[in-house]
Chain A
Amino acid sequence: MNRSLAARLVLLFPPRWRERYGDEFEDLLEREGADVGTLIDVIRAAGWQRALSFWSNGDGNMQTYPASVMSLARKPSAFLPIAMSLCALAVIGIVALNGIQREPDEGAAAHIWQMLMAGQLPILTFFAFKWLARDRKAALSVLALQLIGFGAALLPVWLLNL
């Protein structure tokens, strides 16, 4: 492979990876053929390293996306809102299975659902304040999951006009 192509391929990798492995990798590419299989292999590896780099912390340690998000997701303030959304969804499921009855008072199920939904908000706020500053990318991923859960518990109420 010619030097110019090798240098361009190395540029596909993230800067931190290039600092560490760039020279030796470029040397290896120059010794290898430039067939389609090699090019695809290098592009795929660069994409993978970019993905790892995107989800790594800024402390210089490469940390893979699943490890970071999963460790954060074990924190009570991360999984409690999701669990509460699932419970709220289960309450709606039970009400829907038993038939929707309109009552003058909202009923116990409605109160439980409201408590579960409202109770999440302070936890969500606490989680966002605490973790967005420390590990923004992982925190955003968990927040996205929490908001999807919140939306999933909210949507049937709107759809079923409860």
Chain B
Amino acid sequence: MRSTLNVDESLKSGHYSDPPLLVLASLAAGPKHGHAMLDDIEQMCGTRLGPGTLYGAITRLEQQGLIEALPPEERRRPYRLTQAGRSALSAKMATLQRFVTIGAKRLAIP
């Protein structure tokens, strides 16, 4: 659940925030635990997700079978993409690619 205020803020700042997609994109580079995902996502798109938001997305993605947990390393538990997660991410990326291409053309961005 995101408020209109957050949408407005993210539009103004140019940040992109779709937690499940960001988690999938982060895990596409290899297995990561929560803290590494937060750092990676921040580096990728400038958005630092809150820990609650991150684990909300992880919970949902794991229930949907898009990611899976690996054995814990001390108290940290890494996650990795499943095959279904990779397919879902590819499909979403293809849609976003079309969206970006059309949007950039309309804004005359080379």
Contacts and interface: CB of A to CB of B under 8 A. Distances in A.
A24 B34 contact: yes
Contacts of A42: 50-52
Contact of B52 (A23, A27, A45, A62): A45
Chain A: interface secondary structure? Answer: helix
A48 B76 CA distance: 23
Interface stretch (A29-37, A88-96, A106-114, A123-131): A29-37
Contacts of B55: 21, 25, 28, 45
B35 interface: yes
Top 9 nearest A-B pairs (CB, nearest first) are: A45-B52, A41-B50, A27-B75, A42-B52, A28-B34, A41-B52, A24-B77, A45-B56, A23-B75
A31 B70 CA distance: 20
Interface residues of B, number: 20
A83 interface: no
Contacts of A23: 72, 75, 77
A48 B59 CA distance: 12
Interface of A: 17, 21, 23-29, 31-32, 37-38, 40-46, 48-49, 62
Contacts of B51: 25, 28-29, 32, 38, 41-42, 45
A10 B27 CA distance: 24
Interface in B59-77: 59, 63, 72, 74-77
Nearest to B79: A24
Contacts of A41: 50-53
Nearest to B78: A24
A49 B50 contact: no
B25 interface: no
B58 interface: yes
